[in-house]
Structure 1
Amino acid sequence: MSSKLRKASSADEEEAKVDMSPMIDMVFLLLIFFIVNATAIVVQTDPEVLPPVAANSLKQEDGRGRIVINVREDGKYTAENFNVILADEADIFDLVKEEKEKIDSLGLVPKLHLRGDQDAVFKYSRTAIRAAAAAGVDQVIFAVYQTHKGLRK
């Protein structure tokens, strides 16, 4: 009798299959979730500033927590919104202090992103670094190009 049962049950059995539709739906939902939550970090550049070329430079992957200061060839300073000109070291200090507080509240480490023109004298950059240090920002990223390709001068 057991052999009759086996034959009867094996003839009607179909191969077990897993339905992949819910898994594919879940993958698409996760993909949409991560795309929506990703933040694009864009650093505006001052067209008056042409950074120097350093062949051995490395591209910074993490753009969060940056406080951008542009140093023009004539020694003028601008913030990331390059329409605002910073008159002196006190203005740089105030800007960095204000931005540092915002960045600290997000739980990030503030860094000075210094974009100095290749023809600017280093003492202008040193002034910006000194003001940032006085405001409590001790990490500095120097902006440079890796090649001469595409430079305007």
Structure 2
Amino acid sequence: MASSSKLRAAKADEGEDLAIDMSPMIDMVFLLLIFFLVNATMIIVKMDPEVEPPVAKNSMKAEDGNGRIVINIRQEGELYSEAGEELTDDDVIDLVTKEKDVIVQQGYEPKLHLRGDKRAVFKHCRKVLRLSAKAGVDKVVFATYNFEK
């Protein structure tokens, strides 16, 4: 009789479903989500509405957005920083030198992000390239569209 009660007790447990408590898993997912959001680096390039970049059908999206020093060249050749301040030649050298030092301390390679208007003459771009090289930055990323806007 003892064996039949054990058998009934074993069979009675088979009817209950096993359940996993998912609340610790959900907590872990939220913690990971918050961790990645906090550690993500936001890369925002402020676009000058006065500058319309040229179209280049073979242009590619840059893979690395870190370490960029943005200079805008408007149609008539005026130079502007990312913050919208007008720049002289000496200002360009100072800006590139300061930004380069900050970027190198962060562990990135400094690059000149040149946003030239499609109606601007290339001699203005060449001037900025020379000033940037004088300040110690010789890598350049040209901003272009790969389709007509």
* TM-score band, normalised by shorter chain: 0.7 to 0.9
Q: How big is the alpha-carbon RMSD for the aligned residues of Structure 1 and Structure 2?
A: 2.1
Deviation digits for residues 39-77 of structure 1 (CA, Å, limit 9, x no counterpart): 322111222211111122112243221100111221211
Q: Which residue of 2 aligns with 1:138?
A: 138
Deviation digits for residues 75-94 of structure 1 (CA, Å, limit 9, x no counterpart): 21111012x11112x22111
In structure 2, the residue corresponding to 1:28 is in which secondary structure?
helix
Which residue, out of 21, 25, 28, partners 1:26?
28
Runs of 4+ with >6 A deviation: none
Length-normalised TM-score, structure 2: 0.85
State the alpha-carbon separation in 2 of the partners of residues 134 and 12 from structure 1. Answer: 84
State the alpha-carbon separation in 1 of the partners of residues 9 and 119 from structure 2. Answer: 87
State the alpha-carbon separation in 1 of the partners of residues 110 and 25 from structure 2. Answer: 41
Q: Which residue of 2 aligns with 1:85?
A: 86
In structure 2, the residue corresponding to 1:107 is in which secondary structure?
coil
State the alpha-carbon separation in 2 of the partners of residues 132 and 100 from structure 1. Answer: 10
In structure 2, the residue corresponding to 1:59 is in which secondary structure?
coil
C-alpha displacement at 1:146, in angstroms? 1.7
Deviation digits for residues 107-141 of structure 1 (CA, Å, limit 9, x no counterpart): 11111000111111111111111111122212100
State the alpha-carbon separation in 1 of the partners of residues 76 and 123 from structure 2. Answer: 12
Between the two proteins, what is the percent identity of the paired residues? 56
Q: Structure 1: where are the runs of 5+ without partners?
A: none
C-alpha displacement at 1:21, in angstroms? 1.8
Q: Which residue of 2 aligns with 1:96?
A: 96
Length-normalised TM-score, structure 1: 0.83
In structure 1, the residue corresponding to 2:69 is in which secondary structure?
strand
Q: Structure 2: where are the runs of 5+ without partners?
A: none
